[in-house]
A and B are shown apart, each in its own frame.
Chain A
């Protein structure tokens, strides 16, 4: 009874959370909480994997909780199993990391209780099989993560971030609620099975799609609903940031997939247009925002936005292919998206762990105050480098595999009958390529400025390597990135049942292809073999090294940097994050951010330094969020006068209400 075991894990997490409220300040509370989380996450991971590999059977369960006449329904099918695996893996890694990282926490009593509750909520979302339990878990997930975001509540920004986050989250939940209201109908058939049976189509389904896109999109961070994400994710403690960015956004993706691919009826072709356009904009804007940041964690958060865009591109393609009954192509696109879900959860967690380790060691999130950490934190630096290569979609690591699959799916688009899609999909492909290239640029910046060069501050100078738990967790995840990168076939095969379930077809079996390379469609068409690429590179690198060291010289001398003959001692002369991004800012920023550079040159004889001021505008915020906030405030101000009327005026309100109703009655027939 796999499902029952999972629910026990959830219960254990909840219990741990509630228990910790009492003992959060004790030193052993940390070990207790993170130990429990680690253990339960590992168990659920095993269960989920066994489901995916077909060892254990899918099952469902009904508990006498939640909505009385529906009960709390839970189900475990391949789809939820996969996302459960992602959640559990991320949680396990984060818990392991936190075992060590948690020492830096100055207010554990605000973090420890909420943490296991957060994990439990995420697992429940994936397991829920009726609208009520789903939304309950969904919103509970928002609530607990909110509590974690405002754990350091004395920092004003955190409170602001938490506020924006909670409001946006409730907004998303409410729109999902509306969607489920439509799906369930006036009768209130909230069970997923009942909804599936109802099989909504036409305008109703379209409305549901839009609502879900808003609801799940706002949680996942689709532009323009992403505004909360770069505020909230960095505000939380780093292992929580990793969970929020790496895992919670995936839970949102799960919500989208579950409703749109599973519960809704057959899609209409223009749905995919909607999704693709949003996704394309999202991935490019996300990475451009990221390039403009010099706060390491915020940069990572913006990259989450970008990767969500990539995932949704895959999902949009899957929708398009499914709408036209191109089953295999749909399976390819879906597999690409899901594989990227896994990959992103891996390397994003890894990168946040790295940033957390840096934060713990230096107390700095601002890259411009870091530098040269590769000398003092070699292990962290190496793990972080792996993450950077992976997220930049470079072979032979995992990020490349999923993007490669996405490109392969895009290359199938000419077979689509609709002209709109024929033209749109390659354009989206261009956006995807652009974002991939920009991501590489961004992570050259992130790694180069943070870990390479010379330390820019004393904090970076005296930094020391992080604790062994953190390192263990980072290397574990890095190893997984590598594994998925060189042996993608097995993972693609593991995703096959999901494709079967959702689009009714699967990719050809990959793990049996010779040399373990992956061939999504046909070998004459395209193939990729991460393992061989890796072997070749290592082989030729070693060969080169060997030959040169043997036949030529291997002498080496340390000397001051040459720098064209003008070596400058001060580390301030190094390129900073913003100066590194300057060329790209000049290319893209002037349009996207209305970026302006103003040079302030003091008059001759004035000793003040010249300053270069760069101003960037978040157009989306200015155009979308600011007006709403302003409107609410103005309306509140106007209405507030009603608090200060005299009794007589209140009476006249009553009086006029009475007269009005009487008039209505007099005219009513």
Chain B
């Protein structure tokens, strides 16, 4: 049971990393959002599994949270937004997919190396979990860096948050404070982002971050 539980948790975490890579691969906004939904689903699964093997019922809440918010509401909302804004479906990448992928690989390797330095008496489950979480975080950040489009940056940011949740749930017995704060921050984040997208459309008719630079101070 122990071994199996470990393997499944491992598998789920690993697949989360995989989905992150899929996100990096996407070049269409709607597809990207869908992939993010998948990402959230996988997260929800792994959190649920953690809840099961740690028999920590409060984690189910988190799982549900992830499922409902990140896998359903947010993607739908985002789809709505991009449709309403009628922004073009193409994602302006900064660097090509190939390079991004390679770089992602490097990041994953880095996170593995870092985690392996951790002495093993911290139980292996947590360790591996943490390694994957770190990888997901880094990949999310990478995505934010390599995309020009605000929506895709938001998506990247949220997959980064997913990594955090993974880590948090992986940390056995971590008090509820954290989950609440995670949800809380995501909520705030989303609301504020919503506000901003709204305002930005008001002002700029586009949410391409590049368009904002024109209005930076001291240019003239």
CB within 8 Å of B: which residues of A?
643-644, 646-648, 651-652, 655, 658-659, 662-663, 665-666
B165 at the interface (CB under 8 A from A): no
Q: How many A-B Cβ pairs are below 8 Å?
A: 41
How distant is B192 from chain A, measured CB to nearest CB, in Å?
15
Residues from chain A with a CB closer than 8 A to the CB of B212 are: 646-647
Task: Give which listed residue, B94, B114, B216, contacts A648 with CB less than 8 A.
Answer: B94
CB-CB nearest 8 A-B residue pairs: A652-B145, A666-B113, A655-B145, A647-B209, A651-B145, A646-B213, A655-B141, A651-B144
CB <8 Å contact, A662 and B145: no
Contact sample, A vs B, 20 pairs, CB 8 Å cutoff:
A643-B216, A644-B213, A646-B210, A646-B212, A646-B213, A647-B212, A648-B148, A648-B153, A648-B209, A651-B144, A651-B145, A655-B142, A655-B144, A658-B138, A659-B138, A662-B110, A662-B111, A662-B114, A666-B114, A666-B117
B interface residues (Cβ-Cβ under 8 A, vs A): 94, 107, 110-111, 113-114, 117, 138, 141-142, 144-145, 147-148, 153, 209-210, 212-213, 216, 218-219
Query: Do A643 and B218 touch (CB < 8 A)?
Result: yes
Instruction: Tell me if B145 and A665 are in contact (CB < 8 A).
Output: no
Residue of B nearest to A663 (CB): B110
- Least CB distance from B115 to A in Å reads 10
Determine the main DSSP class of B at the interface with A: helix
Cβ–Cβ < 8 Å partners of A662 in chain B: 110-111, 114
A665 closest partner in B (C-beta): B114
Q: Which residues of B contact A655 (CB under 8 A)?
A: 141-142, 144-145
In whole angstroms, what is the CA distance A665 to B218 when docked? 38
Whole-angstrom CA separation of A643 from B212 in the bound complex: 14
Q: Is the CB of A658 within 8 A of B210?
A: no
**Smallest distance from the beta carbon of A657 to chain B beta carbons, Å?**
11
Residue of A nearest to B137 (CB): A658
Report whether A659 and B110 are in contact in the complex, using a CB–CB cutoff of 8 Å: yes
Contacts of A665 in B (CB 8 A): 114
Residues of B close to A666: CB separation below 8 A: 110, 113-114, 117
CB distance from B160 to the nearest CB of A (A): 11
In the complex, how many angstroms separate the beta carbon of A455 from the nearest chain B beta carbon?
A: 53
Q: How far is the CA of A644 from the CA of B209 in the complex (A)?
A: 13
In the complex, the chain B residue whose C-beta lies closest to that of A652 is: B145
Q: How far is it, in angstroms, between the C-alpha of A644 and the C-alpha of B216 when the chains are bound?
A: 7
Q: Are A648 and B110 in contact (CB under 8 A)?
A: no
A643 and B213 CA atoms in complex are apart in Å by: 11
Interface-centre pick from B117, B145, B210, B213 (highest chain A CB count, 10 A): B145
A648–B145 CB distance below 8 A: yes
Instruction: List 9 extra interface pairs beyond A655-B145, A666-B113, CB under 8 A.
Output: A644-B213, A644-B218, A646-B212, A646-B213, A648-B94, A648-B144, A648-B153, A655-B142, A658-B138
A645 to chain B, nearest CB (A): 8
Which residues of A have CB within 8 Å of B111?
662
User: Which residues of A sit under 8 angstroms from B210, Cβ to Cβ?
Assistant: 646
Alpha-carbon separation in the docked complex, A643 to B218 (Å): 9
Question: A644 contacts which chain B residues (CB < 8 A)?
Answer: 213, 216, 218-219
Q: How many angstroms between the C-alpha atoms of A63 and B148 in the bound complex?
A: 63
Closest approach, in angstroms, between the C-beta of A421 and any C-beta of chain B? 58
CA distance A647 to B138 in the complex (A): 18
Chain B residues with Cβ under 8 A from A643's Cβ?
216, 218
Which residue of A has the minimal Cβ distance to B157? A651
